Amino acid sequence: MELAYEETTTSQSITMKGGDGPLSYAKNSSLQKGVVDATKEMMIHAIADKLDMEKLCSEAFRIADFGCSTGPNTFFSMQNIIQAVEQKHRQTNPETALEFQLFFNDHSSNDFNTLFKSLPPSWPHFIAGVPGSFYGRLFPKSSIHIGHSANALQWLSKVPNQVVDCGSSAYNSGSIYCTGTESEVAKAFASQFENDMETFLNARAEELVNGGLIVILMGGIPDGISLSQTAIGKFYDLLGSCLVDLTNKGLIDEEKVKSFNLPLHFPTAKELKALIERNGRLCIESIDEMTGQVKRVPALPSTENYISLVRAGFEVLIKKHFGNEMVDEFFTYYGQKHLESSFVFGENAVDNTLISVILKRI
């Protein structure tokens, strides 16, 4: 997925690497596919249990994926939803077939061309791309029956201004992400996440039909654990150490590194639940927390494949901030340091959680 881009140090365009080459996100999104697979049965059961087809009867059943990115994962998610809706529809109205209209949302610089080239060839559905930030309205009122967002909402709309202000008590010195160990930095990121979620929930509450559902899947952390203690936190530490090393070698400007922060926030399930309840626009039908879904390095086929996965996810962000000329060198160096570093997949790293939420408009 991608965030709106402005020429500032705090608002960055986050797009997965496009195309269908060996370093593309389309070819290197197996971890994200694991999230889709791990939650398939949960989503099918939730739709069967929570969706009232009689109330949602219309000429076309409309589904939107918010933060679809590029590659096949969004199609797997959509197909899982369609399968569940069709099963439910056959129980209540077996004489007629539903028509589905599917909307794929991401920002305008997302590689929609590759996305639609990879469409399943036999899909009998009506398809549309919807460019724009999901931190705002995208559809007419009461027009969407089911919304879906996977692996997207942990990305903030921007880096909080104060964490790159060296005069602020929330200045994030010495790290490229919110480790969770500095209270003022953590408050700044949490506040930005709260504002973003409020905007997201308000927009979806307008767009969903009465009785419509939205499925949210996102990365989180266990209660009482800082992000720096988790496997993903260790990975971000390694990325940051590579930037520092290249700065010491004179290959990257030090000020560029100081102003670089990943616009990410991984909430606890408790934190996310409180935000949704405080917003009050959508009813929580279920909220669950799973561990072990963020696979560690040894579970991947090879180190080379892992580095390709990292590059597919972070190349555009690195290039945007530091420039094109150092991208190859950075990821080559990252690969070398990854091989030398055992702490990334050390046994002391805590697994991140996967938070799954089913919301209904009532």
How much is the CA Rg of the chain, to the nearest whole Å? 20
Question: Which tens digit of pLDDT belongs to each residue from 324-348?
Answer: 888 889 988 998 888 877 555 555 6
- In sequence order, what are the beta bridge partners of 290? 354
Q: How far is residue 52's CA from residue 60's CA, in Å, rounded to a whole number? A: 15
pLDDT of residue 29: 60
Which of helix, strand or coil describes residue 153? coil
pLDDT of residue 121: 82
pLDDT of residue 311: 85
pLDDT of residue 6: 34
Question: For 7-11, 35-39, 74-78, 309-313, which range has the lowest pLDDT when averaged over its residues?
Answer: 7-11
Question: Which tens digit of pLDDT belongs to each residue from 191-238?
Answer: 999 999 999 999 999 999 999 999 999 999 999 999 999 989 999 999
pLDDT of residue 223: 94
pLDDT of residue 19: 66
Question: Which tens digit of pLDDT belongs to each residue from 253-278?
Answer: 999 999 999 999 999 999 999 999 99
Confidence of residue 172 (pLDDT cuts 50, 70, 90): very high
Question: Which tens digit of pLDDT belongs to each residue from 62-118?
Answer: 999 999 988 888 888 999 999 999 999 988 888 888 999 999 999 888 889 988 988
Q: Nearest 5°: phi and psi at 28?
A: -135, 55
Instruction: Check pLDDT > 80 for residue 181.
Output: yes
Helix (H) / strand (E) containing 214: strand 208-220
What's the rounded mean pLDDT across residues 124-142?
Answer: 96
The number of C-alpha atoms within 13 Å of 188 and in the hemisphere containing its C-beta is 24
Question: Which tens digit of pLDDT belongs to each residue from 3-21?
Answer: 433 333 334 457 676 666 6
Confidence of residue 302 (pLDDT cuts 50, 70, 90): low
Closest CA to 103 of 48, 62, 136, 162: 62
pLDDT of residue 107: 87
pLDDT of residue 236: 94
List of domains in the chain: 30-360 (3.40.50.150)
Closest CA to 77 of 283, 221, 216: 216
Closest CA to 64 of 131, 156, 157: 131
Residues 6 or more apart whose Cβ sits within 8 Å of residue 49: none
Taking the complete model, does pTM exceed 0.85, yes or no? Answer: yes
